[in-house]
A = this chain, B = another copy of it.
């Protein structure tokens, strides 16, 4: 998914996804990559996902349209990459307590969605997940996956510490925590603040604790 590794022909070496320049021809400009992704973020903030045009991105980045199309074959892929590049870093709370750990990680990952911009990013992505299964796969692997792993880690530590029952399906519990936050953001148009997240965590944990 690194821009420069995206090519019409499949990469020869799947293991190394670093943008290695092999063979003839001028290599792709790294600065152009950066300028484009930055321009995408700016435009998303200004006008939202589907008012965003490739032409405005190109113009803002000081780049030809072809330079964008050379790297990304659709607005969707472009936006996924741009968002991936700015995703907030993961947190790995370990307070020794399942409830507090969950609140921390959920606030860090989903609590900042109050602004309409983020909501539009989110829904724009969902759009693409439906349309393009590959993008969906990508999103789940690169964006959602790591966050889910953190939550799963918290739950498993809770099980080890006997805070939680051992027979729960952790994947189900993760959905139970994350799903409502998505739902409120997308459908309810509510900002999930820390208090709301804490109530949610309390409800869920009540159902799974030992």
A184, B189: Cβ atoms closer than 8 Å: no
A187, B131: Cβ atoms closer than 8 Å: no
A176, B182: Cβ atoms closer than 8 Å: no
* Interface range for A: 35 or more
Report B-chain residues with C-beta under 8 Å of the C-beta of A191. Answer: none
Q: In the complex, A187 Cα to B169 Cα: how many Å?
A: 19
**A residues neighboring B (CB under 8 Å):** 48-50, 116, 119-120, 123-124, 126-127, 129-131, 133, 136, 139-140, 144, 168-169, 172-173, 175-176, 178-184, 186-189, 199-200, 203-208
Pairs A–B under 8 Å by Cβ, sample size 8: A50-B127, A123-B127, A130-B186, A173-B203, A176-B200, A186-B186, A203-B207, A203-B208
